[in-house]
Amino acid sequence: MHWILFFSGLILDQASKLIVAKTLPYQETVTVIPWLIDFFYVKNSGASFSILQGKTVFLIIFSAISLLAIFYIIFRLPKEQKLLRCAFSVLAAGALGNLVDRIRVNAVIDFIKLHFFPAFPIFNIADCLIVCSIAVIAWQVLWPHKGEGAL
């Protein structure tokens, strides 16, 4: 199951970025759902909140090392810890999705803009995968469920 999530997340992320790059005008707002979501195609050569702008080589190396660590954790987790395995697989999909962008276009393609919260950074599907998986991992580690112990 966790491999299905990994490949589905990666394909969804890369397909969405390809569609955005081919169809949306660069740095122009397209309203998707009024008062909720706009699409605004930009390229971010940094990390979250545009920190480390232009440090692409460092971010590629850091991402690659992080991916190796994530895959190591996935393979080391007991099979009973299905939720954690799935969460780490989703995390890997998001990390790899952004890594592919950094290698392919020297930046990450972002396009989701929260219309009602303009100060929030523009993001992409990979970022959603990363944030959601980190939330699940934190929840599982801080409050392990019966039969699913912490890391």
Cα 97–chain centre separation = 7
Catalytic: 13?
A: no
Name the catalytic one among 13, 38, 101, 110: 110
Catalytic: 101?
A: no
CA–CA separation, 93 vs 12, rounded Å? 10
Name the catalytic one among 13, 38, 101, 127: 127
One-letter amino acid at 69 equals A
Please return the burial class of 67, using the count of CB atoms within 10 Å of its CB with bins 0-12, 13-18 and 19+. middle
Q: Which residues are catalytic?
A: 110, 127
